[in-house]
A and B are shown apart, each in its own frame.
Chain A
Amino acid sequence: MTATARRAGPVLPTARGPLSHGVVHALRTARAPDPALWRRTADAEPYGDDLHLSLYVLYELHYRGFAGVGGDREWDPALLTLRRALEDRFLTALRLDVPGPRTPAEVFAELLTEPADPSGSVSHHLRRRGDLDHFRQYAALRSLYHLKEADPHAWVLPRLHGQAKAAMAAIEYDEFGAGRADQVHARLFADLMADLGLDTSYGRYLDLAPAQMLAVVDLMSLLGLHRDLRGALVGHFAWVEVTSSPASRHLAAGLRRVGAGRAAQHFYDEHVEADAVHEQVVRHQVVDGLLADEPALSADVAFGADATTFLEDRLSSHLLAAWRDGRSALRC
Chain B
Amino acid sequence: MQNADEYAESPQPRRITVERDGPMVVEGPVEVVTEDGTVAVSRRFAVAVCTCRRSAAYPWCDTSHRARPPRSRGRGEDRGR
A residues at B contact (CB < 8 Å): 110-124, 142, 146, 170, 173-174, 178, 239-240, 243-249, 251, 268-269, 271-274, 276-277, 279-281, 284, 309, 312-313, 315-316
Contact = CB atoms under 8 A, between A and B. Distances in A.
Interface string B2-44: 0000000000000001010011010000000000000000111
Given A116-B68, A277-B44, A246 B63 contact: yes
B46 A121 contact: no
Contacts of B46: 170, 277, 280-281
Nearest to B46: A277
B77 to A, nearest CB: 5
Interface in B46-63: 46-48, 56-57, 60-63
A276 B69 CA distance: 20
A113 B23 contact: no
A116 B81 contact: no
A124 B23 CA distance: 24
Contacts of A121: 76-79
B81 A276 contact: no
Contacts of A173: 45
B76 A117 contact: yes
Given A240-B80, A281-B46, A110 B25 contact: no
Interface residues of B, number: 34
A54 to B, nearest CB: 26
A246 B81 contact: no
Nearest to A277: B48
Nearest to A119: B76
Report which residue of B25, B63, B71, B80 has the largest number of chain A beta carbons within 10 angstroms of its beta carbon. B80
B69 A273 contact: no
A144 to B, nearest CB: 12
Given A120-B77, A309-B77, 20 more contacts: A114-B69, A115-B74, A116-B72, A116-B74, A121-B77, A121-B79, A123-B80, A170-B45, A173-B45, A178-B44, A244-B81, A246-B63, A269-B57, A274-B44, A276-B60, A277-B44, A277-B46, A280-B22, A312-B79, A313-B78
A205 to B, nearest CB: 16
Nearest to B60: A273
A202 to B, nearest CB: 19
Contacts of B25: 277, 280-281
A312 B78 contact: yes
A312 B17 CA distance: 31
A247 B78 contact: yes
Contacts of B70: 116
B63 to A, nearest CB: 4
B67 interface: yes
Given A113-B66, A170-B46, A277 B61 contact: yes
B67 A122 contact: no
B57 A316 contact: no
